[in-house]
Structure 1
Amino acid sequence: MGELIKFELRKILGNRAGMAACLVALALLAGMAFMNLATTTTRDHATGAVVEGLAGQQACRNNEESHAGVLDDARIAKDAAVLDRANELAEGTPGYYDLSSDAIIAQYGLEFWQQTRAVASDDYYNEIVGTLDSASPRATTLREGSLARVDATLSDGFEHYFPYSDAEASYWHGMFDQIQWPVEFGYAGAWKNALDWASFLALAIVALCIALSGVYAGEYQNRTAAVALPTRRGKRALPAAKAVAALAFATAYWWLCSAVVVGINVTVCGAGGWDLPAQVVFGFDNPYPLTVGQAMLAVYGLGYLVAIGMAALTLLLSSKMRSTMPVAVIPMAVAFLGMFALFIPPLAKLGALTPMAGLNFAFSRMVSYAAGTAVIDLPTALAILYAVLLMTCTPLAMRVFARHQVA
């Protein structure tokens, strides 16, 4: 059996079109991950100078690290006052909003720019004050403001179309109540980027599905192994070997692509911030009581389950179809068209279950599915769906292929 699995792995690796798709997807993921970092443009808050590329990333890191610490009530009040003062200075300066940063520095000096434009353009201050202002009157604690944002989301409904039931509201409030306040802020740039880019690993899923499209369908076209091998190994050995080889390839390729995306970000941005709360990367109104590291493991682990679930679906399609073309196209449509479904409100929750949209929304949005008082969130729904695909499509593919063999 082991030799047969190796033989099938070599056949997968010998699929030129499939390997080309895998190499292109890997190159795209690596290129996009690096260019996302290399094309950064910002201003150094210490000097006011424009910095680009990896130096820009370092400037962003220095700025976020300057805000590190526990966000208790006193700290929040102090930081909110900094932005309020910046807005007061800006409004009291004639023509301020018509001036560029360079013009402000030239006319009023670097210190004035640091007290106004630098503060007003700092995501940290805007997130703090925006969260506090979500409550009316302005909240005095970050927890109060964050809860107000959660309540606003529950009131608006998902995508302003799907209302949250009482059971769902209770579910999300219960999740939010598990967060330990006050939260700690710090720099987690590598992990934030890796989480932001997790949805683009749908490219890897599509590529591996293309590579696996001929696992069974290819045998219908050349008829050689399907006739010769079963006579020696039995009708069960070949279908099982093909399934094991396909899932092994999908596993190796998924984690290779994941390692490239994460590795590039960690190399450039450093590995700090793993133990910070997930609210640092997802926003203070995120209700999940996770650390950044736990969110990383959950998202990429979920992505792997989605990948092998899609691989199993591809195997089933391959066992039923004589041509590899539709076998490759159908998973591609499933992976990408879900993103378009998000723009059609009645289809948004269905679209969220597809690979790209699912990895984009998992743990970052309040997506839930309710049946009476039973509620599950999107990550749980994705895990169930793709686990079912894996457990049902794989044996079905083996069974369908076995029926087509010539004994």
Structure 2
Amino acid sequence: MRSSETTRRQFIGSGAVTGGMLLAGCISGGGTDTSSGETYTVSIAPMGEVEFDGPPEEWTALLPTYADMGFALGGGQTLGIQNHARFGTDAYEELPGIEFDEDDVVELTEGGVDRELFYEMNADAHFIDPHILTHWYGWEQSDVDKVRDELGPFFGNFIRRHSDEWHDYRYYSLYEALELMAEVFQARDRYEAYVALHDDMLTTIDERLPPAEERPNAMLLYPASGSGLEFFPFRFDDGGISTKQWRDLGLTDALAETDVGHYSYTDRGTLDLETLLDIDPEVLLVRNHGGESDSEFREAVLEPLQDDPVANEVQAVQDEAVYNAGYLDQGPIINYYHTERAAKDIYPDAFADATLFDRERVAEIVSGEF
């Protein structure tokens, strides 16, 4: 048993989660000196104010977005994750002196999300939007309440996309959510350092981007079957953080002027090759291949499209402008990595020699030596 377990169990949740709550992400008590046992609260929709008596020492996320944020803020590793294959930890491999041991992270979604795994992890805090557990994985509200009351609070908001009907409360941008997480971890200095790096990255992008009329339109897709020839369509103009890099790089969403739907938990409509050809995007961005090498991606995605008589007529396929779209979820570090890779893929003439983020600086921030 951890020596801090007694005090960590003094975390207080804010009552039952209600789907219709719309709360500003205001912060009260952030920066309180917790060495004397004082508490502080951080407010996030849909939970409202959540009380902490100190930065969580052992915590879990479900989605990599919050796992990346906690790691970036010096909080250490998440105890668990939704799907190891969708967690972009290859971004950490580029940070000098920084280690992340995926073998120490529990897979939470084998056969659903078992509540007993939460008791086995025994986390101080759960950086999870509870609506994911109730809407995706069949938890009852009483399950959420019990884990919150007996183990530690929930703190999180599903901000990957903005297309789910059940999400009728406030969304946050990547850096709005990161700021709230920084208040939880009492890591304001790290947050401000990431903001500065992010601002520098966007400045470099703005300086190098070609004029708007020379930027391609692009379509973001997720394979719907093993064949690689049927896809779920995703819009990247909806504000979700999983598509932030495409907006920052000035791409036009090829779906924006169409009546093609946007993937959500309740809309699993697919896009066939005939529709793809009708839209005829200049760039194709294909997900679910994060971590693959260029040759692996080419074999799995580009070559089947080239071999299909319909798909091969699409401009992006003919130009071989079909790129690995990376992972669904991203905190600040994975976003730096995604953005630089995307810039080099889509605008090679402008960004081939560009370094959009300083790996050594990120490593210093993670380790607290800055």
TM range (shorter): under 0.3
Q: Greater strand percent: which structure?
A: 2
Q: Greater helix percent: which structure?
A: 1
